[in-house]
């Protein structure tokens, strides 16, 4: 079983739709959960991060973590064409030497159509 | 807004040649990282670096790879003798301190080994 699994898509939605992106993981040591957005040929850009189970909201974005099910989600409300990108989930455990080694999902390619 | 900068954006080299990829992390950050992304695959952790030494490295980061902080601003990744399979996008990242889960990524260097 892969450490982090994410449906690669592509996912195509109309403008204004609610988008749901998901990842599952197998490593119980993961403590921190992040969502990154990556535009073509660019570096990942941090969108959301959470530590505990539950919801965290930031504008049109809501991150949800369910540690008991090892399942995380990112919801995008009122999606816009500018949201078209690849969305990467990423997770980390606390390193014994400090620092933060991230394990990424494969990324879900999202296209928001006019 | 502060950002991680990487140079060059593209690097083409012959198999067996040495390459140095350069990064300027965000100025008050203390942890530095290299990740890579082979085309169509996940972003993968290579190495983390703190206080002028490697904190952790992945099994990808073998003796052909080295990292260095030659001065107060630059952070470099050297590949001693490149192989075809080293072709990838290499991302530098930094975080503020050892307990900071937020990594900020540069735009990457696309390395092509011919």
**H or E element, residue B105:** strand B104-105
Q: Note the pLDDT tens digit of each residue in B53-97.
A: 998 899 999 999 999 998 878 999 999 999 999 999 999 999 987
Per-residue pLDDT at A42: 87
Residue among B111, B101, B92 at smallest CA distance from B5: B92
pLDDT tens sequence across A6-43: 988 899 999 999 999 999 999 998 988 999 999 988 89
Secondary structure of chain A: what % helix, strand, coil (to 5)? 5, 55, 45
* Residue B100 at interface with chain A, using a CB cutoff of 8 Å: yes
Among candidates B68, B105, B90, which has minimal Cα distance to B13? Answer: B90
Q: How confident is the model at residue B9 (pLDDT cuts 50, 70, 90)?
A: very high
Rounded to the nearest 5 degrees, what angle is found at the Cα of A86, between the Cα atoms of A82 and A88? 125
Distance from CA of B46 to the nearest CA of A (A): 9
The span from the CA of B94 to the CA of A34, in Å, is 15
Chain centroid, CA B62 distance in Å = 14
Cβ of B43 under 8 Å from any chain A Cβ? yes
Residue B72 has what DSSP assignment?
Answer: S
pLDDT at B97: 78
Confidence check: pLDDT of B1 > 80: no
- Distance set, CA B40 to CA A84, B48, B52, B89 (Å): 17, 23, 33, 11
Residue B100 has pLDDT above 90, yes or no: no
Which residue among A49, A101, A107 places its CB closest to the CB of B56? A101
Model pLDDT for residues A68-109, shown as the tens digit of each residue: 999 999 999 999 999 999 999 999 887 666 667 899 999 999
């Amino acid at each position: 079983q892969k450490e982090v699994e994410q449906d690669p898509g592509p996912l195509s939605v109309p403008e204004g739709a609610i988008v749901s992106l998901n990842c599952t993981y197998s490593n119980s040591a993961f403590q921190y959960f992040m969502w990154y957005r990556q535009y073509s040929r660019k570096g990942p850009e941090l969108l959301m991060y959470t530590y505990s189970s539950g919801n965290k909201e930031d504008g049109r974005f809501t991150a949800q973590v369910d540690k008991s099910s090892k399942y995380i989600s990112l919801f995008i409300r009122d999606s816009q064409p500018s949201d078209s990108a690849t969305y990467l989930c990423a997770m980390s455990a606390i390193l014994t030497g400090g620092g933060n080694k991230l394990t990424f999902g494969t990324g879900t390619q999202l296209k928001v159509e006019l | 807004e502060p950002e991680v900068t990487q140079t060059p954006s593209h690097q083409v080299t012959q198999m067996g040649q040495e390459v140095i990829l350069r990064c300027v992390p965000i100025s008050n950050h203390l942890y530095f990282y290299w990740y890579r992304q082979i085309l169509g695959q996940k972003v993968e952790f290579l190495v983390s670096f703190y206080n002028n030494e490697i904190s952790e490295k992945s099994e990808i980061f073998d003796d052909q790879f080295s990292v260095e902080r030659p001065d107060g601003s630059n952070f470099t990744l050297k590949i001693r003798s490149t192989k075809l399979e080293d072709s990838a996008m290499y991302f530098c990242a930094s975080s503020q301190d050892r307990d900071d889960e937020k990594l900020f990524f540069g735009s990457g260097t696309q390395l092509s080994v011919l």
